[in-house]
Amino acid sequence: MPESIPVSYFQNLSDDTRLVEVLETLKSALKARPHGLDEQSDALIDHLSSIITNQTLDNLNAETITEIGELGSHLLEKLYFESLTNVDHRRMYDFLALAFAYWIVRNEGSINQLEFFVVALAHTANIVHDKTSLESLYEVATFIVYATNDELKSESEGSDLDDPWKVLIMNYSIIATRTHTPELMESAYKILIQYFPEDAPGFFRKAMSEMDRLNYPQYVCNVVKRYYARYQK
């Protein structure tokens, strides 16, 4: 994948053929390592590829899709540590995580293990800059937000800065701000306020400090300024 990711990156997330292709590319890359590919990861990749290739969604209910999503999360957990030391593997990891999250949501499953999808979203947000791609990434983030299991949301520790649900909502609001699209900002900010009202003032205070530094358009500044004024204690 290129360093600057085009919007086609996100359009391909909904393509099952592309998802299987990434799984197979990843499998080949992992096999080429000096220590090869462990049996568990090999079996997981084959199992996921088979499900996605041969799926008949009429026979897969939401609960089954969710269980398949958990299998994918186990694979992502194993691949995450590999991705820390290999840039190419990290890009494959990021694509696989976001594409797999997209697949779960499209097929009406829920996300029960959030952490590794959140990591991929954050990685990708750091290298996406154009408005069209940011808006597409916002859409992917929206899918993840709404597909997250309600128990994860209710169990979230607002005081834990590394809590995956909190990190997701904070990044969701940041991505929305970076789109420069007021409607998306309003939508993300409402979710931030709903779930983390104690953190909203600090978020808007920091966002205000970024407006001048990053030369945001005035109409974007106006949205942030309105929320800043409303939620300062």
- Residue 3 sits at φ, ψ, to 5 deg, of -65, -40
> pLDDT-derived band of residue 10, with 50, 70 and 90 as boundaries?
low
Q: What is the pTM of this model?
A: 0.82
| Predicted local distance difference test score (pLDDT) of residue 5 | 44
Q: What is the pLDDT of residues 96-154, one digit of tens each?
A: 888 888 888 888 889 988 988 898 899 889 888 889 889 988 988 998 999 999 988 88
C-alpha–C-alpha distance, residues 94 and 89, integer Å = 8
Q: What is the pLDDT of residues 66-104, one digit of tens each?
A: 888 888 887 787 777 777 777 777 777 887 888 888 888
C-alpha–C-alpha distance, residues 178 and 166, integer Å = 18
> pLDDT-derived band of residue 158, with 50, 70 and 90 as boundaries?
low
C-alpha–C-alpha distance, residues 153 and 28, integer Å = 36
Cβ atoms of residues 140 and 10 within 8 Å? yes
Q: What is residue 4's three-state secondary structure?
A: coil
Residue-level length of the chain: 233
Average pLDDT over residues 195-215: 91
